[in-house]
Every structure is written in C-alpha cells, then in structure tokens.
Structure 1
Amino acid sequence: MNEWLGEFGMFLAQWLVVVAVVALLLVMVARARSGGGEERSHIKLEELNVRRRRRSRRLRLAASEPSARKRLAKAFRRDDKARGKQGDADGSPDSRVWVLDFHGDLKASATGRLSEEISAVLDAASEGDEVVVRLESAGGLVHAYGHAAAEMDRLRQAGLSTTVCVDKVAASGGYLMACCADRVRAAPFAVLGSIGVVAQLPNVHRLLKRHDIDVDVLTAGHYKRTLTVFGENTEEGREKFLAELDTVHALFKRYVAERRPSLDIEAVATGEAWHGTEALPRGLIDEIGTSEAYLAERMNDARVIALSIQPRRGLAERLGLSVSRGIERGVERGMEALDASLWQKR
C-alpha cells in the first residue's frame, strides 16, 4: 500500500510539473503576441438589425410545423437574395444609427473608452446619422463627470443628432452627461435629476484631543485646506467650503440650462431626483420609453450599429477575470438563495 501511494504521489508530482510548464509556455506565447506592437484595444461593431432578424427567423422556424420549415427556410434565402447590394442590412443603407454604452461609477472610469468611441464615430459618421448613448450613472466626482460631459458635447458640436436613453438612472453627474444630447428618453421608473452638489468629511479632532494627541496641519496659502480630518475646523473654513460647493452648483445649473433652455432650472436644481414619468412634465426629459423600444423603432428605417472599443487582455488577465466572475456569480447566487428563503419564511 505504501509503495502504491509513493508511486501515485510521484505520478501526481510529474503531472503537476507538466501542467505548470504548459501554462508557463502559454503565458510566454501570449506575452510575445501582445508585445509585438499590437494595439492594446480593438473595435467591435455589431449591426443590431441583423441580430434581430436572425433571432426572429429562428423563433419562426421553431414555432412552425416541421413540414413548413423547409419552405420557410427557402423564403428566408430568397429574401436575402432580394436584398441585393443592401446585403444583411434592414432599412436605408444611407441612414445609420450608432449606439454607444456608458456605465458610470464614482470616478466615471469609462470616460476614456467613451472618448475613443466618440472619436471613432466622428471619423465614420455622415450627415444625417444619429448617435444613441445608452447611459447609466448615479454620478460621482465633479471633475470626472465634467470630463465625460465635455466628451458628449463633441457629438453636438459636430452636428450629429444625439439621443440619450436612460433605462435605470442618470442622476447628478449622469444627468450632466444626459443633458448634452438633443433628446433625452427615459424609462417610466428611471431616476433622473439630482442637480446638486454634496460633500462630507469626518473629523476626529475632539477624539484625538481627549487622548492628548496633537496633529499639525501646515499649509501655504490661506485657503489651501479649509476643512481637515484630523485638525480643528474653523467657522471660516466651513464658510469657505460651502462657498466652493455653491460655486460648483452654480456651474452645474448653468451647464444644464445652456443645453436645455426651456427647463426651469431653479425649480429642478434642488438636488431632488425624479422618476421618468415625473421628470417628463418638469422638462428634464423629452419622452418616455426604453432604449430597446427606441432602437427597434429606428431599425425600421436605418441601420443600427452598436460600437464599442474593448481592451485586449492577456492570457493571465483573462484567467483572472474568469476566476473573479466565477466568485461573483457564486456570491450573487448565495445572496439570491438567502433572499428567496427570507420570502418563503414570510
């Protein structure tokens, strides 16, 4: 028995060595390919008309009687042939709708990719084209979303018709971006507005003082640091900090008002947020509806093309992302199971 275990352990060790060598070789090959002057990102284009038509055909074939499927498939081939030079596209080949996506976080981290995608659209778009941005963001840092809004402004400045679709949320910095479009469309329960500025800062000065701990805050410039975490905050510092917030709020209001001149900016710039059906009468949006419904409508008379610029990831990074996603899915499933059990107990 001991001899068998020893042989099995030796075999297992050899097998692990082989796996490690193969993995190392794969990583080296991946690095060699990525290090040859190749771009670190690639552009992805998908014609949504084609995807929709293929899905529709698959459903029609699946729902039809087996005896009718052959005739239906022939009809589809005749339809493709009749399209001729138009190829796979529906609608007018001269009318195009470019679709971009922006999912915002606190730092508006997707702004760099958005700016590249806008540049790509501006290089390829023609007069009469439309750009649809599916936007989702609850806002974040002022300077980060100011940059994102400035990138959105490039579409307007280039003379392209622009529509922002909000299915979930475009609040604060997210609305700063949305207002740059010619039209804003939102789902009935999407959250919009929150035209305001907020800042909060903890202060532990009294706690440190009770324990005889001194913290020196040294500055050059009277207002270099108005409020601090460790030092003693003064009333003058608070007033200056509030004045700075008011300045940012005034810039926010002016930016929105310039792009939506019919909006009663003083009535909506209270920091409140509204759902889509409430935002419409207040002038924050122009129509109610989802992005999917709008794009389906545009497919009737235009080619709808989704554009995204995606980073090229190495083998090690892809493996890391796969593990990370697996863990996330496991946690999500655990939370869903817990939530379902709570409902069952009720």
Structure 2
Amino acid sequence: MWADYFLFLLKAITVLVVVVLVLMIVIRSAKEGHEPARGKLVIARLNRALDAVRLRMQQETLSKKGFKKTLKSVKEEQKKLDKVESDRPKAYALKFKGDIQASQVEALRQEVTAILTTAKEGEEVIITIESPGGSVSGYGLAASQLLRLKDKGLKLTACVDQVAASGGYMMACVADRILAAPFSIVGSIGVLSQVPNIHRFLKRFDVDVDVLTAGKHKAPITFMGENTEEGKQKHVDDLNAIHQRFKALVKLHREELNIDDVSEGDFWLAEDALQRKLVDELMTSDSYLMSLCESTDVYRVRWQPHKSLEQRIKGASAAIMAVVENRLWQRRLP
C-alpha cells in the first residue's frame, strides 16, 4: 500500500514539474516577442587560436625533449606579454554569410557597433563575405553598416572565398580593398524580380480577383490580378532605377573600373574579375588573416543572437532525429 502511494506521489510530482516547466517556457517565449533583439557578443583573439594550433602540430612533430623546450619558451614569452600592454596594432575580423533576405544584417549591426566602441582611427576591419545576393533593402542596409566603419576612419578589407554576387558584391564594393580566392565568383551587378501570376489559371475556373489600390502605381503587377503592359513597364522602370543606384554605388567606391562594362548582370571568376578591377588581389581570407597575425593582434567579433523557443525546439528535434538516424544506420551495418 505504501509503495503504491509513494509511486503515485512521484508521478504526481513529475507531472506538476513538467506543467510548471511548460508554463515557464510559454511565458518566457511570450516575453521574447516584446523584447528587442537579444544575444551575446563573442570575441576571440585569432593569434591565440593560431598559437594553439602551432603548439599542437609541434607536439606531434617534435621530439618530447624538443617540444618541452619549445613549450617552456612559449610560456615564458606569454608571461612577459601578460605583464605589459601590447603595443601592436589591432584588427577586427567579421564574417557575413548571406541569404535572400540578408537576415544576418541584424548581427552585423551589433558587431559593427561593438567595434566602433573601442577601435581607433586607422585600425583595420576584415570582413569575409559569402553571399549570392538577395533583398535590395537588406543588402543596402548591410553595405551601410560597413560604411559606418569607414566613416570613423577605419580601414575596411573585404575577402571573398566563394561568392559575393549582386547584393554580396554591393557589400564588398564599399571596402577599401577586395581580396578574392582564385575560383570565387564576384559581380552580377544587376537587379532581378520574379513575380508569378496565376490570373489565367483562375479565369479558367471563372474565379474573379479584384485588385483595389489607391494610387495609379501602387501595385503595377500582382500575383492574381491581370497584369497590363503599362504595369509591367512601370515595374521595369523601377528595376532600372534601382540598377542605376547600384551602379552609382559601385562606381563611387571603385573609381578605376569601367562601370558600363561590368554592370549588365554578368559574373566572373576572381581571376577575370581582377582584370576588370572588380577585385584588387587574389588571396584567400585564411592566408590574409594568418599573415596579419604576424604583426597585428586580430580579434574575431561575432554576435550570437538569442534563440527563440521555436528555434530551440527545432534544434533539439533535429539533434534527436540525427541521433535516431545514426543509431538506425549503425544497426543496418553488417
């Protein structure tokens, strides 16, 4: 009897704890929807990371006696450096991995603001950009964030390891210097708009769609309404206006290139882009940062956004599914 009662009590307490936890998560999630973007700033000194890699390689490649001697000298040197403030110049490294909506622009804003709180005029910021382009407003804002650095007298270097096209190149072109890996893709200075239209499909089933607007040019083309030639031409005119602004931005920051030869939406491998003066040098970001670490203290600055309840649940679900799939796959092996 007492055993059954104790088991019932444990079950009741467990259910109560689960209910309380669920309520706490729901309340916290509701609060998150009314709060400004939250997260944390993660800063790592690349020089130390490189030193750790070097020591690990030396541990494997040197004799025990040789490695002990090296380790001792490294520790003594580090003690000396810890006692005095470094007089070496400082640089800051950023990464931007773009998507269609330029969703990382919020993190970029936080990172740029953090750098501007301590960076001194003449110091360098290196941003590695990987993006095929996307939203005009999103990438326009991202380029404007980079201009904040230049406005404060900081040197800006853009690195392209894989692709910086369209909006990605819009960001890269504002830099003082662009470095690109030989087989990276750059360019695509153009504007694209794709609007599917199902008006004829709806007409086939006698479905009418009324598109009501106030203003002649409020919606020149629509998804379900009938698009006129006049409306299509207005949309093209709008795209041309954006294209002209894009070209003007590139020309402003890359005065040496012939803008008319590179602004028809074409893209090039970096070697060809170098000939057209779209980039300044062929080099990977890894090579540049490693060489910079020899004479400069380089700090990686990264804004890590706070994950919402939905993101945490998706992450946990993905992790569980990965474990389950891995277990099932292991069982299939002979």
TM value normalised by structure 1: 0.81
Aligned to 2:329: none
Q: Supply the distance in 1 between the matched residues of 2:70 and 2:247 (Cα, whole angstroms).
A: 57
Tell me which amino acid in the other structure corresponds to 2:71. Answer: A
SS at match of 1:162: strand
Deviation track 1:174-209 (CA, whole Å, cap 9, x = no partner) reads: 110111100011111111111001111112222222
Spell out structure 1 runs of 4+ moving beyond 4 A: 9-19, 21-28, 316-319, 327-333
Q: Supply the distance in 1 between the matched residues of 2:15 and 2:280 (Cα, whole angstroms).
A: 63
Please provide the CA RMSD for this pair.
Answer: 3.4
The answer to whether residue 230 in structure 2 is matched with residue 236 in structure 1 is yes
Q: Retained in 1: the 8 A contact 2:121–2:152? A: no
Deviation track 1:155-189 (CA, whole Å, cap 9, x = no partner) reads: 11111110011111111011101111000111111
Aligned to 1:167: 161
Q: Supply the distance in 1 between the matched residues of 2:253 and 2:222 (Cα, whole angstroms).
A: 36
Match of 2:313 among 320, 323, 327: 320
Q: Retained in 2: the 8 A contact 1:129–1:161? A: yes
Shift of 1:79: 2.5
Q: Retained in 2: the 8 A contact 1:188–1:277? A: yes
Match of 1:176 among 166, 170, 175: 170
The answer to whether residue 76 in structure 2 is matched with residue 78 in structure 1 is yes
**Where in structure 2 are there 5+ consecutive unaligned residues?**
327-334
Aligned to 1:292: 286
Q: 1:248 to 1:53 in 2, by over 3 A?
A: same
Q: 1:277 to 1:19 in 2, by over 3 A?
A: farther
Shift of 1:234: 1.1
Deviation track 1:117-139 (CA, whole Å, cap 9, x = no partner) reads: 11111111112210001111111
Deviation track 1:289-312 (CA, whole Å, cap 9, x = no partner) reads: 111110001111110011112234
Tell me which amino acid in the other structure corresponds to 1:207. Answer: F
Tell me which amino acid in the other structure corresponds to 1:60. Answer: Q
* Matched positions, count: 322
Tell me which amino acid in the other structure corresponds to 1:206. Answer: R
Q: Supply the distance in 2 between the matched residues of 1:330 and 1:167 (Cα, whole angstroms).
A: 32
**What are the within-5 Å matches in structure 2 for residues 1-346 of structure 1?**
17=15, 20=18, 40-83=38-81, 85-86=83-84, 93-313=87-307, 319-320=312-313, 322-326=315-319
Q: Supply the distance in 1 between the matched residues of 2:58 and 2:313 (Cα, whole angstroms).
A: 40
Q: 1:107 to 1:331 in 2, by over 3 A?
A: farther
SS at match of 2:144: helix
Shift of 1:217: 1.2
Tell me which amino acid in the other structure corresponds to 2:250. Answer: V
Tell me which amino acid in the other structure corresponds to 1:49. Answer: N
Q: Retained in 2: the 8 A contact 1:61–1:72? A: no
- Which deviates further from its counterpart, 283-292 or 52-61? 52-61
